[in-house]
A = this chain, B = another copy of it.
């Protein structure tokens, strides 16, 4: 709980009452490895905060290949924000890469927070902005660098994920086949 509050307080001040209120709206959930937090074709149900584990965003391209877009681990929010806020069906999956424990807000509770805490909308907007900016900074270099450089910068961006994520997910995040990634790892050693 504390980790969630600490994160939120980086984006604005809340008094004790407001924090109490927030926590009264939260629910703890567990996801087994490979479970979906939200699915393409369905409306996302939760804003989730990761207590334990790793999630990934992924989708399928027109060749039926599964593409991993992004990883999220402990201490961060994981949500298909745009689709959650407007309650429309998602085009991406959010899947547990490991067993996960999360705190979630459902849409009703999430909206009640906006209605109750003055300034919450602004805090929320800044949280979203920060997440998107970070994601952009991490994704952008993936286009222009060669595969080895991309892999090295992946390790830098997600240092404590490397031992918990299947090789194939990392490979698709980097835009290469898993065979290529395996080869790259050999050459690095």
A residues at B contact (CB < 8 Å): 61, 65, 67, 69, 82, 121-122, 125-126, 128-129, 132-133, 135-136, 139-140, 142-145, 172-175
Contact = CB atoms under 8 A, between A and B. Distances in A.
A144 B122 contact: no
Contacts of A135: 136
Given A139-B143, A142-B143, 20 more contacts: A61-B144, A69-B140, A82-B133, A121-B122, A122-B122, A122-B125, A125-B125, A125-B126, A128-B129, A129-B132, A132-B132, A132-B133, A135-B136, A136-B139, A139-B139, A139-B140, A143-B143, A143-B173, A143-B174, A144-B175
A128 B135 CA distance: 14
Contacts of A69: 140
Nearest to A69: B140
A72 to B, nearest CB: 14
A132 B174 CA distance: 21
- Report how many copies the assembly holds: 2
Contacts of A133: 82, 132
The 7 closest A-B pairs by CB, nearest first: A125-B125, A132-B132, A143-B175, A144-B175, A142-B143, A67-B144, A128-B129
Contacts of A122: 121-122, 125
A85 to B, nearest CB: 10
A24 B88 CA distance: 39
Contacts of A172: 144
A164 to B, nearest CB: 21
